[in-house]
């Protein structure tokens, strides 16, 4: 993920929280907000101290970013996404994170239709 594809400011986060819709499973909460005139997707991450120490939190964030980077072509562009990690995410490996995030993305209906 390039830095231009990240949501960083409090105003941007609060706008997605207020106007977007949310979907969750045991490990992640996903907020999605369609944006007019935005070509690519943007991603914001929230991993609280309850998840683990700094090493664990950074690892979870790297896994989430990598899943979004790899699945970018099947995600709807022009959306803002915020992923909130819950405690069980700390014990997951990359493939479990990928499976769980794809489950949440399918529930949110933000994957492109495959023909």
* Tens-place pLDDT, residues 67-97: 999 998 898 888 999 999 999 999 999 999 9
pLDDT at 114 (0 to 100):
62
pLDDT averaged over the chain?
A: 91
The secondary element (H helix, E strand) that includes residue 62 is helix 54-70
> Rounded to whole angstroms, how far apart are CA atoms 65 and 47?
12
Q: Does position 28 have pLDDT exceeding 60, yes or no?
A: yes
H helix intervals, 6-48: 10-19
pLDDT at 35 (0 to 100):
87
Alpha-carbon dihedral sign for residues 76, 57, 84, 5: negative
> Rounded to whole angstroms, how far apart are CA atoms 93 and 25?
17
What's the pTM?
Answer: 0.91
């Amino acid at each position: 993920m390039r830095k231009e594809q990240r949501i960083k400011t409090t105003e941007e986060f609060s706008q997605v929280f207020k106007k977007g819709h949310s979907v969750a499973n045991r490990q992640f909460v996903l907020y999605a907000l369609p944006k007019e005139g935005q070509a690519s997707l943007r991603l914001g991450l929230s991993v609280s101290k309850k998840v683990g120490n700094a090493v664990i939190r950074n690892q979870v964030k790297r896994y989430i970013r990598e899943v979004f980077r790899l699945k970018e072509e099947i995600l709807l562009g022009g959306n803002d996404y915020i992923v909130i990690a819950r405690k069980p995410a700390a014990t997951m490996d990359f493939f479990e994170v990928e499976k769980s995030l794809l489950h949440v993305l399918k529930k949110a209906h933000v994957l492109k239709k495959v023909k």
